[in-house]
Structure 1
């Protein structure tokens, strides 16, 4: 790898990890500002490395000023050319936040931007893997990619009473704008909303927490000590899972075999059929540790966790040449 690219990518990962660590520290009050600074820096360094990799060293400098490198906004427009791309819109919103951070940020910005922050974290890890075949979870446990959240309701009357008119109006405008865009864009590359689903079940293996019922109490209270946001725990759709597994196979140079495939180019490619075999064999859709089921539409959609990816890839590594045939035989029994 080009030494400049290598340095940019190393610094990019350091900035990313610093953004995560800073945001998740409970004693830091500057975490919204700090996160926006460092996550933007991480993206800028990675995108510049990608531009150099594709178009050469000169691509990151202004043509009329070869001593000055282009901005993050320039990098985004060059690489993500579709201005409707949810990932691009997400980054542009966070850049706006970074820019106003130099003036004034209130604690309520955290409640407003956390869905965008979480999506931005996942987007970065995905693009780092796609552009440079680097898995950030080898340096940072995947559990730490979930941002610590402290949420409370934003009430217009409280905001107006607490802040001067100009600041209150800006804050409420940001809140309204993002709230309007989340359902409109409806894409996890733009925002990952904080949502907790609770379902009563008598089967302990499907439970993330347990409780007992006090039959003798006049008023019965149910205390759930733990809750999980399954949308954050299971961020990957089937297509993304397949892309990640193929990148791991390529990275580790596994001799994965797609049986009965006559096309040499596709003979070593993990595909949707293979993924479905693993899902069926390990019953992944029935275990909320591995899978989250969206039921908003007529046809349910499923997303998967890092643990699901790890399980599938661990099994592939045990016998990459024969694993698919073995699964097919086992499911026929």
Structure 2
């Protein structure tokens, strides 16, 4: 997250919005996956996507053979459904994820005064302030506050 903030705060950095979105969503994804692991007894297999192969449950793998894990969209949705992720944080993660996808996959949607995700419900979400603008609920402060409030100490014994 610090790298995302540093990039965003450089006024002459080319593609700083896109770079911020990529770095920020990566930081959030690691945080969300850490929370998911903590809630599931630190079992790494809780992150894996499974598929049935010949009647047996197997870990799904990508083209390089690496086990596939759930996306931030899926995990944030599950944490939101069970009340462990506040609605404003979930909505901001959806928007940030869409911005990241736009940057990485090179497509752009015009969003002048409101934002509508092509992958989400048809409900319009008010456009958020720019993540680095210093708003009291800006992206840099939110992950730490959220994690601190939702942490649990696991007994190691």
TM-score, normalised via structure 1 length: 0.31
Do structure 1's residue 129 and structure 2's residue 115 form an aligned pair? no
Please report how far the alpha carbon of residue 58 of structure 1 lies from its aligned counterpart in structure 2 after TM superposition.
Answer: 1.6
Matches within 5 A, 1:184-223: none
Instruction: Tell me the SS of whatever aligns to 1:26.
Output: coil
Residues 1:80 and 2:80 aligned together: yes
Alignment partner, residue 30 of structure 1: 15
The corresponding residue for 1:117 is: 131
Is the CA contact 1:76–1:88 (under 8 Å) kept in the aligned structure 2?
A: yes
Structure 2, unmatched stretches of 5+, are 52-57, 60-66, 116-126, 133-137, 153-157
Q: Compared with structure 1, are the counterparts of its residues 47 and 53 closer, same or farther at alpha carbon in structure 2 (3 Å cutoff)?
A: same
The separation in 2 between residues aligned to 1:114 and 1:80, in whole angstroms, is 19
The alignment partner of 1:80 has SS state of helix
Moved >4 Å (runs of 4+): none
Q: CA deviation at 1:126?
A: 1.0
Query: Which residue pairs with 2:25 in the alignment?
Result: 40
Q: Give the whole-Å Cα distance in 2 for the aligned partners of 1:22 and 1:114.
A: 19
Residue equivalent to 2:54 = none
Matched, 1:21 2:6: yes
1:145-183 deviation per Cα after TM superposition (whole angstroms, max 9, x unaligned): xxxxxxxxxxxxxxxxxxxxxxxxxxxxxxxxxxxxxxx
Sort the Cα spacing of 1:80 and 1:116 in 2 relative to 1 into closer, same or farther, 3 A: farther
Whole-Å Cα distance in 1 between the matches of residues 32 and 86 of structure 2?
18
CA distance, structure 1, for counterparts of residue 142 and residue 79 of structure 2: 14
User: Quick one: which of 20, 34, 44 aligns to 1:57?
Assistant: 44
Structure 1 residue ranges without an equivalent (≥5): 1-15, 134-333
Q: CA RMSD in A?
A: 2.8
**Distance in 1 separating the partners of 2:11 and 2:130:** 20
Q: Please tell me whether the aligned partners of residues 91 and 120 of structure 1 are also in contact (alpha carbons under 8 angstroms).
A: no
Higher relative contact order (CA 8 A, sep 6+): 2
Q: In the aligned structure 1, how far is the partner of 2:23 from the partner of 2:87?
A: 22
Structure 1 residue 44: Cα displacement: 0.6
CA distance in 1: counterparts of 2:108 and 2:16, whole angstroms: 10
- Pairing 1:158-173 to 2, within 5 Å after superposition: none
Q: Distance in 2 between matches of 1:23 and 1:51?
A: 28
Q: For 1:1-333, what aligned pairs fall within 5 Å after superposition?
A: 16-55=1-40, 56-64=43-51, 66=59, 67-81=67-81, 85-102=87-104, 103-104=106-107, 115=129, 117-118=131-132, 119-132=138-151
Determine if contact 1:19/1:38 at 8 Å carries over to the other structure.
yes
1:122 offset after TM fit, Å? 2.5
Change (3 A) 1:26 1:105: farther
Q: From the CA coordinates, give the structure whose radius of gyration is larger.
A: 1
CA distance in 1, matches of 2:87, 2:128: 19
- Could you say if the C-alpha distance between residues 84 and 49 of structure 1 is closer, same or farther in structure 2, counting changes exceeding 3 Å? closer
